[in-house]
Amino acid sequence: MKTVILDDWEHASESGAVELERLRAFSEVAVYHDQPTPDVLKERLCDADAVILMRERTSLTAELLDSMKNIKLIAQTGTGLAHVDLAEVNLRKIPLATTPGGSTAAVTELTFAFLLALSRDLPRLHQQVQGGAWPVSIGRNLAGKTLGIIGLGKIGQRVAGVAKAFGMNVIAWGPRLTQERADAQGVGYAATLEELLKQSQFVTLHVRLVPETKRLLRAEHFAIMRQDAYLINTSRGELLDETALVTALQNGQIAGAGLDVLTQEPPDPNHPLLQLENVILSPHIGWKTDNTFESFLNGSIENIASFFQKGAPQNIANPEVL
């Protein structure tokens, strides 16, 4: 059999902690580190029995699936599937295995990197000190401030725990969050999104991108946020109306934003978010740490081994095709 690993731009598979030899013991393995043309991509996948997808870097369209004549298992690193035409995958009865939980710690840590950098104005102060100045600045404590968490899944729960350790007041809202679940995590329950936005000095997004959450935050939501509020998004860019966010930041409706994700990645060089001093941007690195890469790749290898060697599919996102 043959396994293809796509989009390993960082050469993460070469880490000694990644169990590639385990995979090579029962499969030919081809690893690619570049961004191929559509035709080259089809050629690489035409005889693959299994493919490991590195996050959302390759879109699985009907056309691409048609070229995968031998495919028996799709192994997705992480759990995000916005890049997958799941209806077409299901139509072809191809099992899709995910690796849940691998990036929880990494995304949580970046969330607090944004919280701390924004509350202490670190990027601006760093630039001024580098330029020879010694500016006077008053930062903001996290302790005693209210953090509103949108989405109380694994990442949201971990963020809540760290926030409480900082002494923050934590409230949460989610499309399916209940009072009972919030109580179980020891956080306040916001009955509506609007209630959370009105109360929070920091708002952080940790929901999946699905049709009901696309453009979840729009102009009317930014209008009711506190003027001293900061928004952090380490989830998906499409959760926000970026045009409305730019307007809110330019007009002082909110204090600032920390964004690891954008609607278009990389953004247009003239995107207004790149010009705003009250915005901190990072290039979708929330999940990208050494431990996360190892966890995702080893989890995918385990999923492939379980499927082909043991005949025991695991972590299948579409079990109805089995």
Residues 148 and 264 in one domain: yes
Residues 235 and 270 in one domain: yes
DSSP state of 60: B
Residues 189 and 261 in one domain: yes
Residues 275 and 310 in one domain: no
DSSP state of 274: G
Residues 71 and 125 in one domain: no
Residues 168 and 235 in one domain: yes
Tell me the average confidence (pLDDT) per consecutive run of 10 residues in the chain, 322 residues long: 97 90 97 97 98 96 97 96 95 96 92 98 96 95 98 97 98 98 98 98 96 97 98 98 98 98 96 97 94 93 97 97 96
Residues 241 and 142 in one domain: yes
Q: 5 — alpha (psi -120 to 50), left (phi > 0) or beta? A: beta
- pLDDT, position 102: 80
How is residue 153 written in tokens?
């899944």
Residues 43 and 127 in one domain: no
- pLDDT, position 100: 87
With b meaning 16 or more CB within 10 Å and e meaning fewer, what string describes 77-90? bbbbbeebbeebbe
The total number of residues written for the chain in this structure: 322
Task: Tokens 């930041």: give the residue.
Answer: 249
Q: Using alpha carbons only, how large is the chain's radius of gyration in Å? A: 21
- The count of domains in the chain is 2
Residues 141 and 266 in one domain: yes
- pLDDT, position 101: 77
What burial class does residue 247 get, using C-beta atoms within 10 Å of its C-beta: 0-12 exposed, 13-18 middle, 19+ buried? Answer: middle
Nearest alpha-carbon partner for 145 in 255, 249, 253: 255
Structural domain boundaries enclosing 132:
104-281
- pLDDT, position 80: 87
CA-based angle 183:180:172, to the nearest 5?
Answer: 60
Residues 191 and 221 in one domain: yes
How is residue 98 written in tokens?
């995910």
CATH number for the domain including 260?
3.40.50.720
Active site residues: 236, 265, 284
Residues 114 and 28 in one domain: no
Q: What are phi and psi of 229, to 5 degrees?
A: -85, 145
